[in-house]
Structure 1
Amino acid sequence: MNRVSAPSAVRLRLFFHASFRHITPAVFAAGAVLIIAIIALFVKPYIGMADNGDYFRALYSNGIYFNAPDYDSSYFGYFVRHYGIFQYYNENGATLTSSQALFIKLALWLNIWFYDSKTFDIRFLAAIYLAMYTAAVYLLVESLTWKAPAKLGYAVAAIAVLAFGDTAYTAYFNSFYGEGLMLVMMMFIFACGLLLYRGRYNDYVMLALLLVCSLILTTGKQQNAPMGVLIALAGLFAVFVRRSRTWRIAAGGGMTLLLLAGVASYALIPQEFVNINKYHAVTRGVLPDSQDPEQSLKSLGIDPQFSLLSGTIYYEPYTTVDVNSNLMLQQFYGKFGFGSVLAYYIAHPDQAMRMLNLAAKDAFTTRPPAIGNYERAEGKAFGAHTHFFSLYSFLKMTLAPKTFGFIFLWILIVAGLYLPSFIAALRSRDRRQALRLPMVLLMMTIGLAGIAISIVGAGDADLGKHEFAFTAAFDLVTFVTVADVMLGRLWRRVPVAVRAAEA
């Protein structure tokens, strides 16, 4: 019996050994995230995100409409999978310019060709996001585990699966929220930057992918406009990675284009949305936490009588004053800009810190507590959340200190850990090795910008959802830092691809 089984056991070991030689840590992480997300998004019970009222902006302008008779009763509570497709004429124009429309239209085209011409299944959009996300996870893990010891590489990959396979993230793919696209693009940008730093893959391909993803992120939603400027500034370090004129023209031109895209995205925000954000910036930001609301309004150039609007929201059916009236247009919206609100917080640091601490309470919540994940047909309670593969998001929400002081401390620690290698790279004139710290700082700055833009642009209105950029940036940076600690790559020189010339 032993004589027969021994060769079989040897062959089995050889099979697994040969298999794992081809299943790199990056392949393992990407494959595991893909499998987990497929189970969550495409196997009953289907997991997604309920509509909080924002879907109409993405639907109607792209040829899709609400067709469920009980849709109004599903807001916030139940995920809706099917929508109608306009058959003849769509009179609805785009309410705002967004790169998200490109992916919705692609999903709609695939839906019509492979499923139905009258009913849109949102899982086609989820499939597109998931395909890109799988590639992004692969690139991110590859940027860290390439040329790393196998055991440590697989440990890093396991952490990536735990953090980025979390359903609190992937549930966004089954929705029309811009956060799903934001997560994918942020991961691509970080991964491409780190791959440039390692010299892994073709530099020009990585640069092109970084620029395309940056443009998509910047134009994805109105609050992302400043991100294009931040990426362009950090991207200046990438310009000097290679010495050739061709590279510097390509990198410099790309960063200039990205800078212009950020400015244009801000300029193209419809006035209606500007007014909505201005309203909330004052009524849900400046006024509720002010000890002298009337004086606060005076400092913004607004009549003190508008202090009666403190705590109200733009969409309330019964208000003290018509939010679209000429009075509001002339005496309220026309009296200040977001720069004035920022200046107000700078002049009132105590109030600014209270707002930052308020923001910190939701900064580590990946999934908005008020939005459900299940379809009504599943019989779950209104607003119920899935617990499938959600350990990481639960631990982060439960254990992370909810103060801005912790966020500040996190920034100092991470930046301090990477600073010595950055200084060493500058001293040795190794511009490629100097790219890592700017990429880490870029992600942290994007996260902080998400918090600042939320507070200055809309006060505490829907603050948890608006801070998604921070929670994604926190996870990306923390994961990369932990991986570099595990691999012992914080201070010593990291292996890069050997090339004959940096041309």
Structure 2
Amino acid sequence: MTRHQRLDKLKDTIRKYSRYVSPALLAASLVAIITIIALFIPPYIGMADNGDYFRMLYSNGLYFNAPDYDSLYLGYFNKQFGIFQYFNENGATLTSSQSLLIRFSIWVNQWFDQHVFDIRVQGAILTLLYIAAVYLMVEALTWKMPAKYGYIVAILSVFVFADTAYTAFFNSFFSESMVWIMLIYLFASGLLMFRKRYNDYAMMGIFFISGLLLTTSKQQNAPVGVIIAVIAVIYIFVRKERSYRVLMASSLACLMLAGVATYVLIPKEFVNINKYHAMTRGVLMESEDPEETLQSFGIDRQYAVLNKSIYYEPYTTIDVDSSLLEDEFYSHYGFVSILTYYIAHPEQAGKMLDLAAKNAFTIRPPAMGNYEKSVGKPFGAQTSFFSGYSELKRALAPKTFGFIVIWMLVILGIYMPHFIAAIKAKHVRSMLRLPLILMVMLMGLSGIFVSIIGAGDADLSKHEFLFTAAFDLVTLTAVADAICRHLWQNKPEALKKA
């Protein structure tokens, strides 16, 4: 058999295979298998509690029932929690869409056990949502792509989406699982509208719901709703029907309001925690003269003693919750004044941005272990099972903010010809891709800026999760479009097929 005949036979095999298993179905199936093995087959993989779980547990009807729970913090994953059987006097410590997920998971769990909540129930629900999200994402990337290229994109997608650095969050009470899945739904639905795949009204519904859940998943994501509402205005003009335009405009207005409400509803307790770190672990930490810096905010220079300190330290020079600190420290600055300070001190801002960039490509927080204590692994041990992508990314990605800027410029540059051609052709649907990519990029950047300005370097690797997620989705999209040559599809006659 000649080489040409072998190639023809391979093409025939791919063509026959693609009739039954599309690239999207292949990717979703493989992600499902790998995730099930990781999360639901011993040794179970999850995330250890870093002390934040209490914010979501008590107000949603759960409590810590393990007698040795204090010894598990940071080091070991715990999968079982108690369910309150009587009146729960605990009010909500924060407003988050994650509460909907937890309450639904408890309801499902009570079909099997009324007293003990197994976090794997939540993990199973998230896995189902994830599989559907992966399917839509890969379908958006490979729609009308030749099968031989589609399967390459599918395998690359599995490499990213099945990575346990992402899926381990499903067996935890961290909001990153909600952030990651909803971001995929948001991006995929936007791309599917660009491709004119599936019903526009259905995609608009997914776009709105995922955007709403993403915005309200954590207080740090308050800017997300505003960014979506502003950038996605172009989506209003995709169709001419009045009903579609009214629904899309209303959805964007709701997302704008959700972003504002998410910010307004941040509990004062968390405001002070973040403000403390924004000053002690941010502004003062990189200042050459902390005392003079404090004076520029109208704060007594004696508080320079708090430089580089952490809110949770057991022994401090002053009670961080005292009225004295409230009157003489917290009340003298806020998000806007710190932002103004960094603008006036670009060199200091640059240092903080580079510091943020060092953590911006880490998916798995280094502080939390992934195994149960009963497994016998060392305290804080993390899984290496299907972690190739996250480890490669962590090791190879340049750790400077300059790289992030270059990455953004390159991505926007390679998509710009198509966008300009779409404008010239007056083909609105074909204009959607660049604004969508810009929107996700800005959402990722907001994760960096809000982290630095709002909380300094405190827990940066976790606070910057939105950026690393946005980076992966945008980069995967660019690679997929390059493989199938969609990047250079900029002629007006080709736009109508996009």
Pick the TM interval, shorter chain: over 0.9
Is 1:364 the counterpart of 2:349 in the alignment?
A: no
**How far did residue 340 of structure 1 move?**
0.6
Is 1:392 the counterpart of 2:389 in the alignment?
A: yes
**Pair 350,16 (structure 1): closer, same or farther in 2 beyond 3 Å:** closer
SS at match of 2:37: helix
CA distance in 2 between counterparts of 1:412 and 1:18 reads 40
Q: List per-residue Cα deviations over 1:35-64 (Å, max 9, x = no partner).
A: 100000000000000000000011110100
Is 1:472 the counterpart of 2:472 in the alignment?
A: no
Q: Give the corresponding residue for 1:179.
A: 176
Q: Give the corresponding residue for 2:307.
A: 310
The aligned runs of 1:25-424 (5 Å cut-off) are 25-113=23-111, 115-424=112-421
CA distance in 1 between counterparts of 2:202 and 2:141 reads 18
Q: List per-residue Cα deviations over 1:122-154 (Å, max 9, x = no partner).
A: 001111111111111111110111111001000
One-letter code aligned to 1:252: A
SS at match of 2:356: helix
Farther off after superposition, 243-252 or 61-70: 243-252
SS at match of 1:365: coil
CA distance in 2 between counterparts of 1:267 and 1:432 reads 35
Alignment check: 8 A CA contact 1:199 1:496 kept: no
Unaligned runs of 5+ in 1: 1-12, 499-503
**How far did residue 19 of structure 1 move?**
5.2
**How far did residue 163 of structure 1 move?**
0.7
**Pair 429,105 (structure 1): closer, same or farther in 2 beyond 3 Å:** same
Alignment check: 8 A CA contact 1:198 1:495 kept: no
One-letter code aligned to 2:394: M
One-letter code aligned to 1:461: A
**How far did residue 305 of structure 1 move?**
1.4
Alignment check: 8 A CA contact 2:422 2:495 kept: no
One-letter code aligned to 1:165: A
Farther off after superposition, 297-306 or 70-79: 297-306
**How far did residue 485 of structure 1 move?**
0.3
Alignment check: 8 A CA contact 2:182 2:213 kept: yes
Farther off after superposition, 146-155 or 301-310: 301-310
Q: 2:433 aligns with which of 431, 436, 442?
A: 436
Q: List per-residue Cα deviations over 1:263-304 (Å, max 9, x = no partner).
A: 011001111111111000000001111001112112222221
Q: List per-residue Cα deviations over 1:402-454 (Å, max 9, x = no partner).
A: 11111111011001000111111111111100000011111111111100000
Q: Give the corresponding residue for 1:501.
A: none
One-letter code aligned to 2:314: P
Alignment check: 8 A CA contact 1:192 1:207 kept: yes
CA distance in 2 between counterparts of 1:285 and 1:16 reads 55
**How far did residue 247 of structure 1 move?**
1.5
CA distance in 1 between counterparts of 2:104 and 2:204 reads 25
Alignment check: 8 A CA contact 2:18 2:147 kept: no
Alignment check: 8 A CA contact 2:142 2:150 kept: yes
CA distance in 2 between counterparts of 1:306 and 1:268 reads 29
CA distance in 2 between counterparts of 1:425 and 1:278 reads 45
Alignment check: 8 A CA contact 1:198 1:496 kept: no
Q: List per-residue Cα deviations over 1:92-129 (Å, max 9, x = no partner).
A: 1100111000000010001011x211110000111111
One-letter code aligned to 1:287: L
One-letter code aligned to 2:461: G
SS at match of 1:84: strand
SS at match of 1:120: strand
Alignment check: 8 A CA contact 2:427 2:495 kept: no
**How far did residue 491 of structure 1 move?**
2.1
Q: 1:448 aligns with which of 439, 445, 448?
A: 445
SS at match of 2:428: coil
One-letter code aligned to 1:43: I
One-letter code aligned to 1:126: G
CA distance in 1 between counterparts of 2:286 and 2:12 reads 67
**How far did residue 497 of structure 1 move?**
7.2
Question: What number of residue pairs does the alignment pair up?
Answer: 485
CA distance in 1 between counterparts of 2:227 and 2:353 reads 21
**Pair 411,15 (structure 1): closer, same or farther in 2 beyond 3 Å:** closer
Q: List per-residue Cα deviations over 1:142-172 (Å, max 9, x = no partner).
A: 0111111001000000000001110000000
Alignment check: 8 A CA contact 2:338 2:453 kept: yes
One-letter code aligned to 2:457: D
SS at match of 1:432: helix
SS at match of 1:235: helix
Moved over 2 A (4+): 13-20, 493-498
Q: List per-residue Cα deviations over 1:385-404 (Å, max 9, x = no partner).
A: 10100000000000111111
Q: TM-score, normalization: structure 2? A: 0.95
| RMSD of equivalent CA atoms | 1.5
**Pair 132,351 (structure 1): closer, same or farther in 2 beyond 3 Å:** same
**How far did residue 14 of structure 1 move?**
10
**How far did residue 15 of structure 1 move?**
10
SS at match of 2:432: helix
**Pair 85,497 (structure 1): closer, same or farther in 2 beyond 3 Å:** farther
**How far did residue 481 of structure 1 move?**
0.3
Alignment check: 8 A CA contact 1:299 1:344 kept: no
One-letter code aligned to 1:62: N
Q: 2:485 aligns with which of 468, 484, 488?
A: 488
One-letter code aligned to 2:310: I
SS at match of 1:381: coil
CA distance in 2 between counterparts of 1:111 and 1:15 reads 44
**How far did residue 351 of structure 1 move?**
0.5
One-letter code aligned to 1:209: I
**Pair 313,260 (structure 1): closer, same or farther in 2 beyond 3 Å:** same
CA distance in 2 between counterparts of 1:495 and 1:281 reads 47
CA distance in 1 between counterparts of 2:235 and 2:315 reads 53
